[in-house]
Amino acid sequence: MEFEEFLSTYMSEINSEFLKSRSSDQQALFTEVYGLIRQYFPQCDCYTTHNAKEKKRFFKFGVKDRNGKGKPRISVSFFADTLRVSVNRHFFKERKIIEPSSIEELSPFLENIKDQLNGEMDGAQRNPKDYSGDEEATEQDTTEQQFINDSCEYDDSLCPLNQILYGPPGTGKTYHTIEAAVRAAEPEKYKALKRNPAMSTAKTQREEITKLYKSLVDDDRIRFVTFHQSYGYEEFVEGLSAKTENEQLSYYKKDGIFKEICNVATKQVDLDTDSLINPKGNVWKISIESTNKNPAKTYSYENDIAVIGWSDTGDLSTGERNDYFNGLGSNNQNSLTSFTQEADVGDLILCINSKSSIEAIGVITGDYFFNERGVPTRPDFCHQIPVKWLAKDLSIDLKSLNDSKNFHIPTFCLLSRFNVNNTLSYLLEQGINVETAHRVKQADNYVLIIDEINRGNISKIFGELITLIEPSKRSGKHEALEVRLPYSGDKFSVPENLYIIGTMNTADRSLAMMDTALRRRFDFVEMMPQPELFKDKVVKGINLEQLLKTMNKRIEVLYDREHTLGHAFLIPVLDALNSEDSSEEKAFGELKNTFKNKIIPLLEEYFFEDWNKIRLVLGDNRKEKSELKQYIFVESKSEEYNHIFGENHGLETYEDTKTTYTLADFNAEGSVWNSPKAYQAIYDDTLLKRPANISDDAGEVIPLSAQ
């Protein structure tokens, strides 16, 4: 419905003037919001209240006689750059507020409160124009609005620590996961994006949210994993992995994605903006001459360099290797290669004073160079790297960071179990003031997205940690729990700043079959098909909303609601229809491709190729005895066995006839899939009573028997 028509149909003169003063985006959104609320609560009354002092106008949905006092349940209010929908907080125990940028966001909100408002919205379908004037805003309105202003609608109540988005295929679970992850990781930035007047369209907002999501992924604050049947505790938490070194097989402990993100979320360090340290850099171990104090070490600390020997190799910056280098042992070769080729600016370097402790920490500030003079006491220490030594004269045991093991023998090597964050965090815990690093005042939020969470064996994957993910059992809480992990023996708990978001396709496995332990610890957010997104969207006479509604109603009867078709299948059709050229031809082509590549294969999977049920979903059974027989998608044909095999076939145990089905060819000339009337006949009963020679936008349709 166009805005002017909307005003003349529903609004009084004073409300029309008010709405005309709003931005075009708010006008368009309010028109859709008004229609959607009416769709969910068709009997409700809508009236307005007005606060003259604050110049505020509220659109109330509930029950109100023409001259009586209104009983509002839903309120819509306008702000400079947002439209806010809230539920009467004195009627609901919990706060329910949303600032939708589209009706796609509002629909789940209304779906969630629909049952609770049952019987509370049974008015006389009155609109603002049916009332003589505004109702004066009550103290409750003002208090309610102040409550909304002071509250954060994006707080933890809308971002549970553990949640699972579940629903049939194509209902936008993955799409909404991105938004849920950003909302959890950066609630303030998310809120700012939603309120930014420059974000004038849902598409622009989505682009910015996606950009922020990718940035958070790059910073490792959002991690992604997919569960499957063979996925286990060893991959998710920790396990043993094999490696070969010097032709010797050995095993080492390897952290899984869950333990990694928990550790990072627990130990967080802020680096000053001018810090030389790369937060994603490596951590290297160096032994300068020996573990004891020596002149070479002292010279290195005083001159901000790190040095190692084997000067007879010559300058290794060119990549050339002489006979002397090739004659060295593997440990020495690896030390030289790591020092000259792999160590990078911004990496941390730890100088040891024993097999498990360090005496200095520095950051690499420049590229490797070959100094022919070496250092005063060791002229063979010609391989050098510029280093800013951040802390010296230490004696800190780092065995706990190294899986309770001593450092490796090589002079210079990568500490694979160390990272910048856990190294600096540990030093800060020991009271070591590392220049440029300090503890964060407020820990960042981290998010773990688990796709297809229902496909994995939850008990096998989470093990004893299933209890620890409960909000009340997180570290820092009164009932916090801690366990000792079986492989490493490390003490472990789940931090309270880690959000877990799962997705679940109910077509694969119903909610009733989910692990009980998992169901108790997660909030479940149902995401069902939203045909109302296609309201008044027509492609060559095909009503997309009615098309999706009708097919889903039949699927729900033949199977269940968990196997219905999601609205995402038709989004490409809508995008083509709403494109700059508004091409119906392009949109119809997308619709045909959706049936060919998405809907028909999915129906085959749902019904195990029971083509009779597929025909029922497509409405072909209704066309057989009507004038629309040529619009059948799946043709059925019954033949007697005697006609197929001849007599004496020995198939007496079978029925006398066999019914076979043929799906119309998508690519054939004059295919029924090219006929808009064929799609209309799926949902439109009136077409069955019309003459067969009615015109079709796609031209004459050739009967299947003639193809």
Q: Is residue 138 over pLDDT 70?
A: no
Q: Where does the pLDDT of residue 245 fall: very low under 50, low under 70, confident under 90, or very high at 90 and above?
A: low
| pLDDT over 60 (residue 108) | yes
Q: CB under 8 Å to 373, separation ≥6 — which residues?
A: 379, 382
Paired strand residues for 484: 491
* Joined tokens for residue 415: 């500490």
What would the two tokens of residue 20 be?
A: 């005309």
| pLDDT given for residue 151 in this prediction | 36
E strand residue ranges, 365-429 = 369-370, 383-391, 396-397, 412-414
pLDDT of residue 441 exceeding 50: yes
pLDDT of 82 over the 80 cut: no
When mean pLDDT is compared across 23-27, 337-341, 555-559, 650-654, the lowest value belongs to 650-654
Best CA proximity match to 216, nearest among 449, 442, 423, 426: 449
Tell me phi and psi for residue 492, to 5 degrees. Answer: -145, 140
CB-CB neighbours of 467 under 10 Å? 13
The pLDDT of residue 275 is 74
What mean pLDDT is predicted for residues 432-441?
A: 64
Q: Specify the pLDDT at position 325.
A: 93
| Average confidence (pLDDT) over 272-286 | 81
Q: How confident is the model at residue 689 (pLDDT cuts 50, 70, 90)?
A: low
Structural domains of the chain, with CATH? 3-150 (no CATH), 154-268+440-528 (3.40.50), 274-439 (3.10.590), 531-706 (no CATH)
Say whether 279 sits in a helix, a strand or coil.
Answer: coil
Q: Model confidence at 140, in pLDDT bands (50, 70, 90)?
A: very low
CA 135, 141, 145, 151 dihedral sign is: negative
CA angle 44, 49, 54 (to 5 degrees): 150
* pLDDT at residue 698, as a whole number: 45
Give the pLDDT band of residue 442 (cuts 50, 70, 90). Answer: low
Rounded Cα distance between 30 and 22, Å, is 10
Number of separate helices (H) and strands (E) present in the chain: 24, 29
pLDDT of residue 78: 86
Average pLDDT over residues 605-632: 87
For 165, other C-beta atoms within 10 Å of its C-beta total 22
Interval 83-106 mean pLDDT: 75
pLDDT exceeds cutoff 60 at 208: yes
User: 481: left (phi > 0), else alpha (psi -120 to 50), else beta?
Assistant: beta
Q: Is 660 helix (H, G, I), strand (E, B) or coil?
A: strand
- Position 206, amino acid: R
Whole-number pLDDT of residue 507: 84
| pLDDT value of position 139 | 45
Residue 149's pLDDT is what? 39
Q: How much is the pLDDT for 148?
A: 39
pLDDT at 694 over 50: no
Q: Is the dihedral of CA 56, 61, 63, 66 positive or negative?
A: positive
User: Given the DSSP bridges, would you call strands 283-286 and 348-352 parallel, antiparallel or unpaired?
Assistant: parallel
pLDDT of 47 strictly over 90: yes
Q: Is the pLDDT of residue 158 over 90?
A: no
pLDDT value at position 594? 96
What's the CA gap between 157 and 412, in Å, rounded?
A: 50
Give the pairing type, strands 135-136 and 45-51.
Answer: parallel
Other Cβ atoms closer than 10 A to 507: 19
pLDDT at 155: 39
Minimum mean pLDDT range among 34-38, 317-321, 687-691: 687-691
- Residue 191 DSSP symbol: H
**Top-confidence residue, 646 or 152:** 646
- The residue type found at 530 is Q
Q: List the single range of 266-275, 317-326, 491-500, 604-613 with lowest mean pLDDT.
A: 266-275
Residue 701 has pLDDT above 50, yes or no: no
In the three-class reduction of DSSP (H, G, I as helix; E, B as strand; rest coil), residue 161 is classed as coil
What is residue 539's predicted lDDT score, i.e. its pLDDT? 94
Instruction: Map tokens 């004496």 to a residue.
Output: 648
The confidence score (pLDDT) of residue 555 equals 96
pLDDT of 361 reads 94
How confident is the model over 302-334, as pLDDT tens digits? 999 999 999 999 999 888 899 999 999 989 999
**What average pLDDT does the chain have?**
84
Q: What is the pLDDT of residue 236?
A: 94
Mean pLDDT of 537-545: 94
Residue 680 has pLDDT above 90, yes or no: yes
Per-residue pLDDT, averaged over 457-470, amounts to 90
> What type of residue sits at position 678?
A
Predicted confidence band of residue 681 (pLDDT cuts 50, 70, 90): very high
Name which of 39-48, 56-65, 111-120 the model is least confident about.
111-120
From 33-47, 133-147, 364-378, the region with the lowest mean pLDDT: 133-147
pLDDT value at 221 more than 90: yes
pLDDT at 53: 56
Confidence grade of residue 57 (pLDDT, cut at 50, 70, 90)? confident
pLDDT at position 156 over 80:
no
Q: Please indicate whether residue 93 or residue 312 has the higher confidence score (pLDDT).
A: 312
- Higher-pLDDT residue of 160 and 389 is 389
Task: Report the C-alpha gap between 325 and 318 in whole angstroms.
Answer: 14
- pLDDT computed for residue 690 by the predictor: 60
371-409 pLDDT, tens digit per residue, is 999 999 999 999 999 999 999 989 898 887 777 788 888
Q: Are residues 82 and 195 in contact, defined by beta-carbon separation less than 8 angstroms? A: yes
Q: For the segment 572-588, what is each residue's pLDDT rounded down to a tens digit?
A: 999 888 877 768 899 99
What is the model's pLDDT at position 437? 59
